[in-house]
A = this chain, B = another copy of it.
């Protein structure tokens, strides 16, 4: 399957200050609706609706959660695992197998010493070993290196980026 970005070609959307404020508002209080947004931003309801539709259409807004905290489900341990794979078969079959492991939250192919980087979670350090074993067992995976995330002083966020992009 082609990636979304490729399908969109080089289309890049520029957002203005109102877009940025709108996203920031929704990020802060996601349960408010279009009408409430228009009141807070002092614009007409149709404007908010048009902006949201446009950002959704252009792919800037890809969805609206819900955001899940794995730690609250008992998956306290986060680790980043670098994979070295046998090159003959390519990345795709490896990625397909990794996608079958629920604890694998994301997978990237990367430059540098490793071939792939994945973020995984586990219920404990001992459980992490189990997850890593699952990964090592994937056909084509030769070796792995893991680093455990001890703390996350800056959790994943895009708001500052939106503000920077939107003036």
Contacts and interface: CB of A to CB of B under 8 A. Distances in A.
Nearest to A26: B66
Given A5-B76, A73-B60, A110 B150 contact: yes
B108 A149 contact: yes
A32 B65 CA distance: 12
Which range contains the number of A residues in contact with the other chain? 35 or more
Given A65-B67, A66-B61, A151 B13 contact: no
A157 B106 contact: yes
A126 interface: no
Given A60-B68, A60-B72, A108 B157 contact: no
| Main SS class of interface, A | mixed
A71 to B, nearest CB: 5
Contacts of A13: 72-74
Given A13-B73, A69-B59, A73-B60, A154 B110 contact: no
A3 interface: yes
Interface stretch (A41-49, A92-100, A132-140): A92-100
A87 interface: no
